[in-house]
Amino acid sequence: MKPKMKLALVAGVVLLGASCKQKSYETDKLNSYADSTTTSSVDTVAQKLVKTADIRFKVKNVSQASEDISALVSKDSGVVIHHKVSVSIEQTHDVPLNNDSLMRVLAFNTNADMMVKLPVEKVDNFLNSVTRMGIYVTERRMDIEDRSLDYLEAKLKVRNRAELVAKERAGKVVIKDPTAVINLKDDLVDGQINNKRIDDAVKYSVISLNFYQSNTIYKEVVANDDPSAYDLSFFKRMSNSIDNGWHMLADLIVAITNLWAFILAAIVSWLIFIKRKQIWRTVGMKS
């Protein structure tokens, strides 16, 4: 082998080894950086525990309980974010009083839903106070969810996107599609807002309350809306029939009286006819 060829071969081997060593060094450095970054991020993220609760209980009076709970929430520096009172009629019974009115008896159920937001340190005392307001508790539950990993994931993604946006602004990275830039920035905002939501959920707990009372009886006098109820009774109709018959007879007598002249003429004519008939009979017997 010629000396020049040997020299070129040795130089190539040396360069290849140096290149592989440099690449291995950069890879190890990058992995070391990623591991140190992740470890540092995990160490700096505090535990994110989100506490929620719900309770269902029976009270003596739903309206009064709503006022008491609202006052308690205000005292604990919380806020009522949802409140709904609903009434459902269970039974209805009508008792007739007379022809045009009746007593309506209603049995209805009153139910209320509330959702409150409280500082997390006030939740336990609040639930205990609400429990004492009720006659008995049907259901009570508390859930604690660890959102630390979700928070860390969003934080790392936000940092990565922020670095890419910074490089894009500095001209170190060129993104040709404007839509991709907008989506990148929107994802950055979404991640930041999501972490703010987690921070808010960690500081303030949402509690759902459902409370109800025993069925209430309500009585009221209302107009009878059944037309058949306004029919007259049997005795009333008989009385009206007698009265109507008497009026018809009186009207007939009055009508006949108005024809007195014709009646008198008819009577006189009848008497004359009878008299002549007797005369004719007498004359016939003599002859």
Residues of the chain predicted below pLDDT 70: 1-44, 227-233, 284-287
Residue 194 contacts by C-beta under 8 Å, 6 or more apart in sequence?
150, 154
Kindly list the domain boundaries of the chain, sorted by start residue: 50-146+204-223
What does the pLDDT read at residue 43?
46
Residue-level pLDDT at 247:
83
Quote the tokens at residue 205: 């707990």
Token readout for 118 is 């409280």
Q: Are 111 and 62 in contact (CB under 8 A)?
A: yes
Query: Residue 145 in 3-state DSSP?
Result: strand
- What pLDDT shows up at residue 36? 41
Predicted local distance difference test score (pLDDT) of residue 241: 83
**Angle (CA) 49 54 56, round 5°:** 165
Residue-level pLDDT at 228: 65
Burial 13-40 (b: 16+ CB within 10 A, else e): eeeeeeeeeeeeeeeeeeeeeeeeeeee
Q: In angstroms, rounded to a whole number, what is the distance separating the alpha carbons of residues 106 and 95?
A: 11
SS3 76: coil
For residue 282, the model assigns a pLDDT of: 75
> 223 phi and psi, to 5 degrees?
-70, 145
* CA–centroid distance for 128 within its chain: 27
